[in-house]
Structure 1
């Protein structure tokens, strides 16, 4: 792999992937919507910026010519948790954008693709303690529009493989990603910031599979080198209750972790209030109504089996303490939180 084309290059996963590829001597073409933002986020990284948007793939298609691998990390995600309905945007970017991207890349001579999927496309099966790559959800029965869009995006990859026998594509399914470089921030990053600013009303009764974005970036690169055609690889990380994760954050920052449990009735009320706030301001909220419904439904569905990626890709997951330390260091260094708020912060980015 000498040249790579990366979508979503200013996202949490994308910018860590760009850094990893560049550190390995790969020439990176990075798709960005805002070059100004990208230059700030990727300062010092040797990268060629390509301005474009998945809503108009043809506008940047020619830039993919010559790429050995297309890494597709872009997705419509953060806006879908600002409240209200975002189904049209989810379908346009995550599904139609993926379809157009794959066809354009193939037309430009790209024959190897690594697609970033999500644990959202999987659901547990009765009698199985852990969920694995074979346990797909039914898009037609899925009420969460984001989940549905990711399932359908994966189908576009499968369809492209059927259409083009000489196309090689594999899929990596990340868990709840944290880490440095979360400029958005993502939902996971916003949870960390809400903790740092003391804005959490308490502990929500749910679980997540926490994973470092840098470990997922490594999985993507190794999947490009060793992944099998059409195969899916879970990079889910560590299954923890939110309360346990907040205790880890407390241990690296010195800030107290909330102890009060937020009952579903209160969380639902907050979600409805947040919906109204989101509609008025357009700002991200702690939890949307759809987010509340999904959290309540999925609270016991977050135990995933990443052994396939560990076995075949050599994937290893770093400690959550390291992930949170580096994420908080990055947030403080980039003005998201005042360092003086933190009684203790060990380690460095």
Structure 2
């Protein structure tokens, strides 16, 4: 194994810090890229002898070239994962242009491998109800929101770089688990439901996966992933009603949840967005786009990752329990 450092963007993020920990546990040195001023708490406890913390913005192409230089492998995880931001341009800047900057730097430096973190958001939904796989064309431009669209565009950028650098693309499902300091929209939904801030639900489908399983999938993609190939690192396919039932069974959630038509939920999301746009400038509880996206059957088949990478997932109840315990221990609940 090479002694050159491994560059990880988004290193202090939810998935990123688990990737960093696994790499250092293998005895590898990680050059961990943090945004200027980013909260570094997720990197606490990782062997400092194996960790080189550096600041860098993926929008700074020159800085990315300097940071990639001398590295053997690049894991690109930095992204904006939000359902709403005051200026959506930042989502496209980071998730699309930032990806191009990192991939260009990797190609120029001649790194051995790039593992690019995409998302299930870059894959479409089948009309026949069969879980989507890596070949399902993207068809969600209208029925989604800026994050989803940006991840699709970012994945197209990564695919375009495959002739120039050995890049393997991984698409995580909706991750839950310890270390979600943001929290991400997925984690925030769990927190809001358990706290009683969300009391309504609507028809829809989700794919929940443990964040540590996703991190292991990243390392498997470096080891076994094919150049230019995409792998869905997905877990358990559920309806929203199924997830609520599991939260009652596993976590003891007791308060009532009321079913509402999707159209009503979308209208409420639209109204909350108007308040956010014009008054609070803070991410609303739901948005029209996030409701439109989640109301579809977001179910995915991870067979390719299982067969080619050896990817496995742990039981859903274990993932839910670990996430809830971490949120409770860290004051989110």
TM-score by length of 1: 0.87
Q: Could you tell me which of 37, 62, 69 is aligned with 1:58?
A: 62
Greater Cα offset, 41-50 or 221-230: 41-50
Going from structure 1 to structure 2, the CA distance change for 1:90 and 1:35 (only over 3 Å counts) comes to closer
For 2:18 and 2:106, the matched residues in 1 are separated by 22
| Residue 140 of structure 1: how far off its partner (Å) | 7.6
The equivalent position to 2:264 in structure 1, one of 263, 266, 271, is 266
Which of residues 12, 29, 36 in structure 2 aligns to 1:10? 12
Give the aligned CA root-mean-square deviation in angstroms: 2.2
Cα pair 2:143 2:293 within 8 Å, conserved: no
Verify: 1:321 aligned to 2:324, yes or no: no
| 1:333 Cα deviation from its structure 2 partner | 2.1
1:333 aligned to 2:329?
Answer: yes
2:81 corresponding residue in structure 1: 77
In structure 2, which of residues 300, 303, 315 is the aligned counterpart of residue 307 of structure 1? 303
CA distance in 2, matches of 1:200, 1:140: 26
1:286 aligns with 2:285: yes
In the TM superposition, residue 268 of structure 1 has moved relative to its aligned partner by 2.4
Please give the alpha-carbon distance, in whole angstroms, between the structure 2 residues aligned to 1:290 and 1:85: 15
Work out whether residues 62 and 108 of structure 1, in 8 Å CA contact, stay in contact via their aligned partners in 2: no
- Measured against aligned partners, the alpha-carbon deviations of 1:269-318 in whole angstroms (never above 9, x if no partner) come to 3212311332222322221122223234xx22x22111111111111111
Rounded to whole Å, the distance in 2 between the matches of 1:336 and 1:221 is 30
Aligned residues: 327
- In 2, the alpha carbon distance for the partners of 1:157 and 1:83 equals 24
Give the SS at the match of 1:54. coil
Gaps of 5+ in 1: 338-349
Structure 2 unaligned spans of 5+: none
C-alpha change, 1:264 and 1:284, in structure 2 (3 Å) is same
1:159-180 alpha-carbon deviations (Å, 9 max, x no partner): 2123x2xx21111111111111
Classify 1:128/1:320 alpha carbon distance in 2 versus 1 (closer, same or farther; 3 Å). Answer: closer
Shift in Å, 1:259: 3.6
